[in-house]
A and B are shown apart, each in its own frame.
Chain A
Amino acid sequence: GENVEQHPSTLSVQEGDSAVIKCTYSDSASNYFPWYKQELGKRPQLIIDIRSNVGEKKDQRIAVTLNKTAKHFSLHITETQPEDSAVYFCAGGGGADGLTFGKGTHLIIQP
């Protein structure tokens, strides 16, 4: 089955700086890679996703890149704001086995 590794587990950045979270996956058949944001006590919310036929996708301040050869994908948040503080989860899958989630990155935006 799929195995998704996520790094770092905690990331602290100054407000206005960029944040990058990285994930690797093991199953070359995986073709769908979403990112979820979870605020304390709330549900995970889908913020962006990418499919394997695309190398990069952008939505305002967030972007995701995918390197199929190396089996890794990354979340980039630019011009970080206090409301970006949350736990971010990557996931991989899209085949018969569904999604496998990373363990999460706790992003802290320092004022």
Chain B
Amino acid sequence: NAGVMQNPRHLVRRRGQEARLRCSPMKGHSHVYWYRQLPEEGLKFMVYLQKENIIDESGMPKERFSAEFPKEGPSILRIQQVVRGDSAAYFCASSPHPSGNEQFFGPGTRLTVL
């Protein structure tokens, strides 16, 4: 049973470009969470998705950020017109439970904005 997969592991973008981060949950998990982690800081919740539904996006910036979890394929976190402040590690986690219990993390995508 493969763990949570994320790609790419490292992503470099210039200011103004778009970043697309992908997350494939563990087999049997239908709940996906995205977190942002700045250097030397904790995990900040961004968004919680189930298949084809955004359940909670209270942690997501209102502009430039969007997320989806289609019926087929991975969950995608999309950042449009990236700025230097978007540089961070973005982790996704998946869970078999709707309550957020037992979240298992992917390896993260480290986004660097030049």
Structural contact, B105 and A43, CB atoms closer than 8 A: yes
B42 touches which one: A93, A96, A98, A102 (CB < 8 A)? Answer: A102
B96 within 8 A of A: no
Closest residue of chain A to B99 (Cβ to Cβ) is A94
Structural contact, B102 and A49, CB atoms closer than 8 A: yes
Chain A 29-61 near chain B by CB (<8 Å), digits 1 or 0? 000101010000011111001000000000000
Structural contact, B99 and A98, CB atoms closer than 8 A: yes
B69 within 8 A of A: no
Structural contact, A89 and B100, CB atoms closer than 8 A: no
List the interface of chain A (C-beta within 8 A of B). Answer: 32, 34, 36, 42-46, 49, 89, 93-104
Find chain A residues with CB under 8 A from B99 CB: 32, 93-96, 98
Residue count of chain B within 8 Å CB distance of chain A: 20
Find chain A residues with CB under 8 A from B102 CB: 34, 46, 49
Q: Known contacts A44-B91, A95-B99; is A103 also within 8 Å of B42 by CB?
A: yes
Structural contact, B45 and A46, CB atoms closer than 8 A: no
Q: Known contacts A32-B101, A45-B105, A99-B100; is A104 also within 8 Å of B42 by CB?
A: yes
Tell me the bound Cα distance from A34 to B105 in angstroms.
Answer: 13
Most buried by A among B35, B41, B56, B105: B105
Q: Known contacts A93-B100, A94-B101, A95-B99; is A43 also within 8 Å of B108 by CB?
A: yes
Closest residue of chain B to A49 (Cβ to Cβ) is B102
Structural contact, B107 and A98, CB atoms closer than 8 A: no
B97 to chain A, nearest CB (A): 8
Closest residue of chain A to B35 (Cβ to Cβ) is A101
Most buried by B among A44, A98, A102, A104: A98
